[in-house]
């Protein structure tokens, strides 16, 4: 189950990156170089990409959380690190001279 979720998470991450790169750049800084004026229905294409990005991002977050929950079941509960530290009663000695 964990391997399936991991593969699905990687696929969703790649799709999410591609969807973000296809979107129209508002500031002109990042984009793929194709102007949206060439498309006949540029507004509907932008709306579709925006909705698809939101859906894929939500699926990615859900998949990441479920992957964390599934992989957490494999952890062995042990004592705390703080409990494992041995307390020593030997205090360091202060030197007599600082020379």
Report the half-sphere exposure of 99 (CA within 13 A, side-chain side). Answer: 1
With respect to residue 92, please indicate whether it lies within any of the assigned structural domains. Answer: no
With respect to residue 14, please indicate whether it lies within any of the assigned structural domains. Answer: yes
Residues 19-56 have pLDDT tens digits of 999 887 665 444 445 555 554 455 566 688 889 999 99
Looking at residue 2, what is its pLDDT?
85
With respect to residue 36, please indicate whether it lies within any of the assigned structural domains. Answer: no
- 24 membership: H or E segment, kind and range: none
With respect to residue 88, please indicate whether it lies within any of the assigned structural domains. Answer: no
**Boundaries of domain holding 5:** 1-25+46-73
With respect to residue 12, please indicate whether it lies within any of the assigned structural domains. Answer: yes
With respect to residue 30, please indicate whether it lies within any of the assigned structural domains. Answer: no
With respect to residue 39, please indicate whether it lies within any of the assigned structural domains. Answer: no
Number of domain units in the chain: 1
- Token match 């909705």: residue? 51
The pTM assigned to this predicted structure is 0.58
């Amino acid at each position: 189950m964990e391997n399936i979720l991991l593969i699905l998470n990687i696929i969703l991450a790649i799709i999410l990156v591609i969807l973000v790169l296809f979107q129209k750049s508002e500031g002109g800084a990042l984009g793929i170089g194709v102007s949206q004026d060439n498309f006949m229905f540029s507004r509907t294409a932008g709306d579709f990409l925006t909705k698809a990005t939101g859906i894929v991002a939500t699926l990615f977050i859900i998949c990441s959380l479920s992957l964390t929950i599934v992989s957490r079941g494999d952890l062995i509960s042990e004592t705390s690190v703080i409990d494992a530290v041995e307390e020593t009663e030997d205090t360091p000695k202060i030197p007599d001279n600082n020379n």
